[in-house]
Amino acid sequence: MKKENMVGRLLLSVIVFVVVLALTPFGAPRAAGLNEPGLEVAGESSVDKFFGARSDINRIKECRGRAPTGVTLEQAGITAQRLREGVSCVVGDFDGDGYRYFVLYESPKGADRRFLVLILHRGLAVGTQVIKGPGYLVIFPPNHPQRKYYPQFDRKVPALIAFAEGDRGWVFFLNRKTRSFEEVSYKYPPGYD
């Protein structure tokens, strides 16, 4: 009788394991943010360089892979081949849902760059946005001292900040309702000359 009881328990355990496995949401965030199909951060960009204050880490990364279905790379001057080889990118969780957004771009063709933002919702591409501008687009971290000049925006998630030659700057915050980035004027700290 004990042998039959053990076989029954083992069978029940296997059934419970299969049911739990079938019901587990595979769309849930995974460690290291490898939840975007076909894209990966391959290291620091070898083309574009932007270093934070007191840092020797390039804040512009290189991304490789393939674009999610339905994404048109050409609107930002990127080809599928170039994305497989690697393009400059900025990566961050801009809405706090545990999934990364990708901002992809190539070297400028003319005065302005075109930054292609892959708008993701729970790891799935739901759209794109092109941000045009000179210079570089990097993460504007939640803990940056300048963030206090933008109290109307969520300080728990990063934003994007663009720098150009000279004193020009732009800040982009994600509007969670429209799922797009909105440009806000850069606010200089008091005493800035």
For residue 193, name the pLDDT band (cuts at 50, 70, 90).
Answer: low
What token pair was written down for 126? 């739901």
Across 15-24, 91-100, 104-113, the highest mean pLDDT is recorded for: 91-100
**Closest by CA position to 132, among listed 155, 153, 115:** 115
139-182 per-position pLDDT tens digit: 888 888 888 888 888 888 899 988 665 666 788 999 888 888 99
Written as one letter, the residue type at 63 is: C
Reported as a single tens digit per residue, the pLDDT across 90-107 is: 998 888 888 888 999 887
| 45/128: higher pLDDT | 128
The 10s digit of each residue's pLDDT in 68-98 is 888 889 888 899 999 999 998 999 888 888 8
- Residue 15 pLDDT more than 70? no
Question: What's the pLDDT score for residue 14?
Answer: 43
Rounded Cα distance, 173 and 147, in Å: 11
Q: What does the pLDDT read at residue 136?
A: 78
Encode pLDDT of 25-53 as tens digits: 333 333 333 345 588 888 888 777 776 65
Question: In the prediction, which pLDDT does 168 show?
Answer: 66
Q: Could you tell me the two tokens for 78?
A: 């990127």
With left for phi above 0 and alpha for psi between -120 and 50, is residue 98 left, alpha or beta?
Answer: left
Helices within the chain (DSSP H only): 2-23, 80-85
* Distance from C-alpha of 78 to C-alpha of 80, rounded to nearest angstrom: 7
Q: What is the rounded distance in angstroms from the CA atom of residue 140 to the CA atom of residue 101?
A: 14
| Rounded Cα–Cα distance for residues 157 and 95 (Å) | 6
pLDDT of residue 116: 92
Do the beta carbons of residue 119 and residue 145 sit within 8 Å?
no
- What was the pLDDT predicted at 87? 92
Type of residue found at 120:
L
- Say yes or no to pLDDT of 23 above 80: no
**What is the value of pTM for the model shown?**
0.73
Contact 44, 62 (CB under 8 A): yes
CA–CA distance, 18 with 138 (Å, rounded to integer): 44
